[in-house]
Amino acid sequence: MRRKLVTAILILFCFLLQSTVFQGIAFNGISPNLLIVLTAACGFMRGEKEGLVIGFFCGLICDIFYGDVIGFYALITMYIGYLNGKFSGVFYPEDIKLPMGLIIVSDLSYGMICYIFLFLLRGKLNFPFYFLHIILPEMVYTTVITLFLYPLILWIDTRLEKAEKRGAQKLG
Partner 1 sequence: MSPIVKQKGERFSLPGKYLLFILTVLCTVMMLMTFSTDIFNRPLNTVMGYLVVPFQRGISSVGGWLSTRSEELAQIRALLEENEALKEQVNELTLENTRLQQDRYELNTLRELYKLDGQYEEYEKVGARIIARDSGNWYHTFTIDKGTEDGLEVDMNVIAGSGSEGGLVGRIVSVGPNWAKVVSIISDNSNVSGQMLATGDKLIVSGDLELMQDGKIRFSQLLDSAGAVVTGDKIVTSDISDKYLPGILIGYIGEMNLDSNKLTKSGTVTPAVDFEHLDEVLVILTLKQSVEE
Which of the residues 135 through 154 are near partner 1 (CB under 8 A)?
138
CB of 58 to partner 1, least distance (A): 10
Please tell me the distance from the alpha carbon of residue 141 to that of residue 50, in angstroms, as a whole number. Answer: 26
The three-point CA angle 98-101-107 to 5° equals 135
Please tell me the distance from the alpha carbon of residue 82 to that of residue 106, in angstroms, as a whole number. Answer: 11
Confirm or reject binding of residue 61 to partner 1 (CB under 8 A).
yes
Confirm or reject binding of residue 109 to partner 1 (CB under 8 A).
no
CB-facing half-sphere around the CA of 30: CA atoms within 13 A:
17
* Contact by Cβ (8 Å): 87, 106: no
Please tell me the distance from the alpha carbon of residue 18 to that of residue 23, in angstroms, as a whole number. Answer: 7
Out of 64, 147, 152, 163, which residue is the one contacting partner 1 (CB under 8 A)? 64
Give the x/- contact pattern for partner 1 in 10-49, rule: CB under 8 A: --x--xx-xxxx-xx---xxxx-x-x-----------xxx
Interface residues with partner 1 (CB under 8 A) are 12, 15-16, 18-21, 23-24, 28-31, 33, 35, 47-49, 52-53, 56, 61-62, 64-66, 68-75, 78-79, 82, 85, 114-115, 118-119, 122, 124, 126, 129-130, 133-134, 138
